[in-house]
Structure 1
Amino acid sequence: MSRLFLPLFSAFIFSCAVSVQTYAQCDNADYTVQASNFSYEPNLLSIEVGQSVAFVNMGGYHDVNGEINSLTGSPYNNPEDFYLNPISGNSSGVCIGVVSFDVPGTYTYDCSIGNHAAYGMVASISVEMNEALGGCTYEFACNFNSDASFDDGSCEITSCVLQGDITGDGAVAVDDLLVLLSTFGQTL
């Protein structure tokens, strides 16, 4: 009896460790979609460009198919195709995988295992452009904004003094160096 117990106990511990490790791969995603009972929850998700979605299998055998519509056989024509291989899940959750969405648009996907899609295991993700922050992106301007994602034309160069701008033309250039060198060594 004890000869049988040790291998079974070891297999149980190993399977628990594998599922915990596998689920941990999904921890750093921005959003989570759970697969179970012939559905994805949430089945409609809105995210921003550059965000990631973790797909976690909470029971059964599921994949994530964003390539070919399992019901019609036609391509989904998503902005980018994606597919995560099928994996068995459990009530603790097993990470199917993580997908980063870098192109805006609507992504439809289903479970292509058996008749899962026919039973309603179809969902979509809407990927929107994030709110871009406008500002001055010229790093030598007085009002430079390192958080700005685009230049909105608000740069102020003439209203501030740049360190080293001896001539006052709004730029540190060779002529500033020449003025400095021409006065080098002179005393008042």
Structure 2
Amino acid sequence: MIAEYGILRNQGDLNWLINVSASQNDLTALVNDFKWVADAFALTLRDQHQIAASFDSVFRFRMLYNQKTCVATTLILLVFWQKKKELFKRILLRPHDFTQSPKLFEVLQGYFKGFDVSLKTVAAKPSANGGEENISILDAMHEFASLLPLTGTQLSRKVSANELLFGFSNALALDTRDGPGPEALGTQRPLESYFDQIMMAG
């Protein structure tokens, strides 16, 4: 599907991706993240094709504006937008709801009958000591939801204070600080840009 939808048109496109899987800027990490999300939500082959086509649109748009794309986060939001719009709106308006493990697990199982929280991927830690950790879809969603309400300035402080749990969240915070420009400063919430772009992608 990556080839079919032309998601990676050249080797340099990998530099615009943020993978949850430990190896960054790597085709295997992109495939791992896609497979991880698809399997966790029990997506059909048809669902996967729809998500891949929409992901390509979001990815192209973000590259145009010098923004990197977090693969797993974007895929999860696309699943919500295409299959359960009320969840998509809820994470935007009430991100705190997505930082509560037991509650979130129950919600996702209610919406997605085949949801499998046991599936893990290996995520890198951002600290100087490095290291890796096996994380679930819930862990990735918690981290994104905790960052979503923050301004570019607040995200920058979290990077400086080494307060982020995973390499992908560190990369997200760095990208909003260094990549998209003025909206990353002051009181703007740069991670909210994902939601508009996903709605435009369909």
Same fold by TM-score greater than 0.5: no
**Which structure would you say has the larger Rg?**
1
Tell me which protein shows more helix as a share of its residues.
Answer: 2
| TM-score normalized by the length of structure 1 | 0.22
| TM-score normalized by the length of structure 2 | 0.21
Greater relative CO, 1 or 2 (CA 8 Å, sep 6+)? 2
Tell me which protein shows more strand as a share of its residues.
Answer: 1
